[in-house]
């Protein structure tokens, strides 16, 4: 009897393994055919083996979802009008399945945002309202903010908020809070990619050539920085005059008592009033002092510096600005703070002091070329005042052009603007004919006044 039972189990085991082996072989064949077609971008041919494998064994291999997304994207692109809908819905289902079977390889925020973006891009044929789409993005953002990083989706998210605000479905507070949320998220991503680019720039400037892999990484990081730079400007444009002093002051005045012990609210309110040049209103003074008393920080010290500047106390303002820098521990934020202070001083034509802050900003974040352009602009503005002859005055434009070239070299987001600045400044510098007439090719000219530098006349 025991022999018969053993034989039965043996037969069952062999039968199971045979069927498993056959099924596994079938799955491998489908996967191989799908992959080969998809790699060749023959997505139509890849569709059938993809659907068969997905139906038969959806957890067999993650490639089902990697290539499946491209296969269904192709179906959506080739379909017209309402014929897209079944494929859109199937792609949404595919992402859900990926999350079910390969959760560790499917970041919640990233894929939830992709689903929301797909529905937004096809909202008319899907019959989706702005409220539904906003709620979709909002849920994705709150579920996994860390991986909700797509620049386009961040802009769409905020754009939907603006539309709902204009339709009277969201309040001023909702709009401004969401603006701060999205802007802070963009800044976090810029910090992340800037840090990566900075390491590679530091390596290059040390005289060590980048490997081909590092060059590819650098190009990728810079492309993300360009995208975030673009949407940062678009987000500000989208907000527009909705956040002007006429709207901000009544809102923050009304909410001040309820939030005077909330450091995040105070920081955001003071920050928004500073950005929109609402600093003459007494409310700004109340916000800044309440914030600094409650939670002394780099931001609160910076705002106090602005107040001292408004009061006509430039030395006290500088003291607070320096205190702000000392209180900041994050190099990226410290660089940004130095740049903001530099811009404040530049606007007041205190160029020597401004340059010091710009130089410090560059040390802390060398991949941000904007301080170089600011220094170049200050040099150009001072050309008429910093030379003892017409030739020497115009030679200052060579210094300005050199600073603009540095911006182009380190910051891919500024390549066009920096190149235009270089061309502009070079055109204002002495010509080859003037260099020949002066007979000073290759000589060094000392530039006095606040610039305190020298420039070499080009050889001709």
The pLDDT, as a whole number, for residue 379 is: 98
pLDDT band per the 50, 70, 90 thresholds, residue 387? confident
pLDDT band per the 50, 70, 90 thresholds, residue 423? very high
The number of distinct structural domains making up the chain is 2
Residue 161, number of CB atoms within 10 A of its CB: 25
Residue 291, number of CB atoms within 10 A of its CB: 26
Cα–Cα distances (Å) from 35 to 44, 70, 98, in that order, read 12, 11, 17
Residue 90, number of CB atoms within 10 A of its CB: 16
Rounded Cα distance between 411 and 372, Å, is: 10
Residues 6+ apart with CB under 8 A from 158: 178, 179, 182, 235, 238
Cα–Cα distances (Å) from 162 to 157, 228, 258, 368, in that order, read 9, 19, 25, 29
Q: Which sign does the torsion angle of CA 293, 297, 301, 302 carry?
A: negative
Token representation of residue 319: 């003291």
Rounded Cα distance between 256 and 269, Å, is: 9
Q: Which residues pair with 453 in a beta bridge?
A: 447
Residue 276, number of CB atoms within 10 A of its CB: 16
Residue 416, number of CB atoms within 10 A of its CB: 9
Closest residue by Cα to residue 95 from 74, 125, 65, 67: 65
Q: Which residues pair with 444 in a beta bridge?
A: 456
Residue pLDDT, tens place only, 159-205: 999 999 999 999 999 999 999 999 999 999 999 999 999 999 999 98
Helices 282-294 and 245-259 cross at an angle (nearest 10°) of 40
Is 314 a domain residue?
no
Which of 239, 263, 278 finishes a domain?
239
Residue pLDDT, tens place only, 302-348: 999 999 999 999 999 999 999 999 999 999 999 999 999 999 999 99
Residue pLDDT, tens place only, 206-249: 999 999 999 999 999 999 999 999 999 999 999 998 999 999 99
Percentage helix, strand, coil for the chain under 3-state DSSP, each rounded to 5:
80, 0, 20
Is 32 a domain residue?
no
Cα–Cα distances (Å) from 459 to 68, 128, 290, 443, 455, in that order, read 60, 65, 59, 9, 12
Rounded Cα distance between 429 and 426, Å, is: 5
Rounded Cα distance between 34 and 30, Å, is: 6
Is 145 a domain residue?
yes
pLDDT band per the 50, 70, 90 thresholds, residue 23? low
Rounded Cα distance between 181 and 185, Å, is: 6
Is 341 a domain residue?
no
Which of 239, 269, 288 finishes a domain?
239
The pLDDT, as a whole number, for residue 262 is: 95
Is 441 a domain residue?
yes
Averaged pLDDT for residues 131-143 = 98
Query: 320-343: buried (b, 16+ CB within 10 Å) or exposed (e) per residue?
Result: bbebbbebbeeebbbbbbbbbbbb
User: Tokens 């510096």 correspond to what residue?
Assistant: 305
The pLDDT, as a whole number, for residue 24 is: 83
Q: Cα 393 vs. chain centroid, distance in angstroms?
A: 39
Compute the mean pLDDT over every residue in the chain, rounded to the nearest whole number. 93
Token representation of residue 358: 């710009």
Domain containing residue 167: 123-239
Cα–Cα distances (Å) from 157 to 117, 127, 222, in that order, read 9, 18, 23
- pLDDT greater at residue 1 or residue 282: 282
Is 433 a domain residue?
yes
Is 411 a domain residue?
yes
Question: Is the pLDDT confidence value at 12 over 50?
Answer: no
Closest residue by Cα to residue 226 from 405, 357, 417, 402: 417
pTM of the model: 0.86
On whether the CB atoms of residues 359 and 371 are closer than 8 A, the answer is: yes
**DSSP tally for the chain: helices H, then strands E:** 21, 2
Question: Is the pLDDT confidence value at 11 over 60?
Answer: no
Question: Is the pLDDT confidence value at 377 over 50?
Answer: yes
Question: Is the pLDDT confidence value at 7 over 70?
Answer: no
Element (H, E) at 456: strand 453-456
- Exposure on the CB side of residue 49, measured as CA atoms within 13 A: 20
User: Tokens 């530039």 correspond to what residue?
Assistant: 447
Rounded Cα distance between 279 and 287, Å, is: 10
Is 136 a domain residue?
yes
Which of 239, 257, 283 finishes a domain?
239
């Amino acid at each position: 009897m025991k022999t018969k039972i053993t034989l039965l189990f043996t037969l069952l085991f062999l039968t199971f393994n045979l069927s498993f082996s056959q099924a596994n072989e079938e799955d491998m064949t489908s996967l191989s055919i799908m992959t080969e077609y998809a790699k060749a971008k023959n997505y139509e041919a890849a569709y059938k083996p993809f659907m068969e494998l997905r139906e038969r064994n959806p957890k067999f291999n993650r490639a089902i979802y990697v290539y499946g997304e491209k296969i269904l994207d192709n179906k959506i692109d080739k379909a017209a009008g309402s014929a897209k809908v079944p494929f859109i819905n199937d792609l949404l289902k595919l992402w859900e399945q990926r999350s079910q079977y390969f959760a560790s390889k499917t970041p919640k925020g990233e894929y939830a945002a992709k689903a929301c973006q797909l529905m937004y891009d096809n909202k008319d044929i899907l019959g989706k309202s702005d409220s539904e789409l906003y709620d979709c993005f909002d849920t994705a953002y709150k579920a996994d903010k860390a991986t909700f990083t797509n620049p386009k989706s961040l802009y769409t998210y905020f754009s939907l908020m603006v539309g709902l605000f204009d339709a009277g479905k969201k309040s001023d507070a909702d709009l401004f809070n969401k603006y701060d949320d999205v802007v802070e998220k963009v800044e976090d991503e810029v910090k992340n990619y800037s840090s990566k680019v900075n390491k590679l720039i530091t390596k290059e400037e040390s005289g060590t050539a980048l490997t081909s892999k590092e060059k590819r990484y650098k190009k990728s990081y810079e492309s993300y920085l360009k995208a975030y730079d673009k949407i940062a400007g678009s987000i500000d444009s989208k907000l527009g005059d909705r956040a002007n002093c006429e709207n901000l002051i009544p809102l923050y005045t009304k909410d001040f008592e309820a939030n005077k012990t909330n450091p995040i609210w105070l920081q955001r309110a003071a920050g928004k009033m500073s950005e929109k040049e609402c600093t003459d209103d007494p409310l700004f003074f109340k916000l800044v002092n309440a914030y600094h008393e409650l939670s002394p920080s780099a931001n609160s010290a910076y705002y106090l510096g602005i107040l001292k500047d408004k009061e006509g106390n430039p030395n006290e303002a500088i003291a607070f600005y320096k205190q702000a820098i000392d209180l900041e521990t994050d190099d990226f934020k410290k660089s940004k703070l130095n740049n903001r202070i530099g811009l404040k001083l530049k606007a007041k034509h205190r160029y020597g002091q401004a340059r010091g802050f710009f130089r410090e900003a560059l040390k802390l974040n060398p991949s941000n070329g904007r301080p170089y352009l600011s220094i170049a602009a200050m040099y150009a503005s001072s050309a008429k005042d910093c030379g003892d002859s017409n030739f020497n005055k115009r030679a200052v434009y060579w210094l300005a052009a050199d600073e603009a070239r540095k911006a182009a070299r380190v910051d891919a987001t500024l390549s066009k603007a920096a190149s235009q600045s270089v061309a502009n400044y070079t055109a204002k510098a002495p010509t080859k004919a003037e260099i020949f007439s002066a007979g000073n090719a290759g000589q060094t000219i000392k530039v006095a006044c606040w610039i305190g530098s020298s420039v070499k006349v080009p050889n001709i």
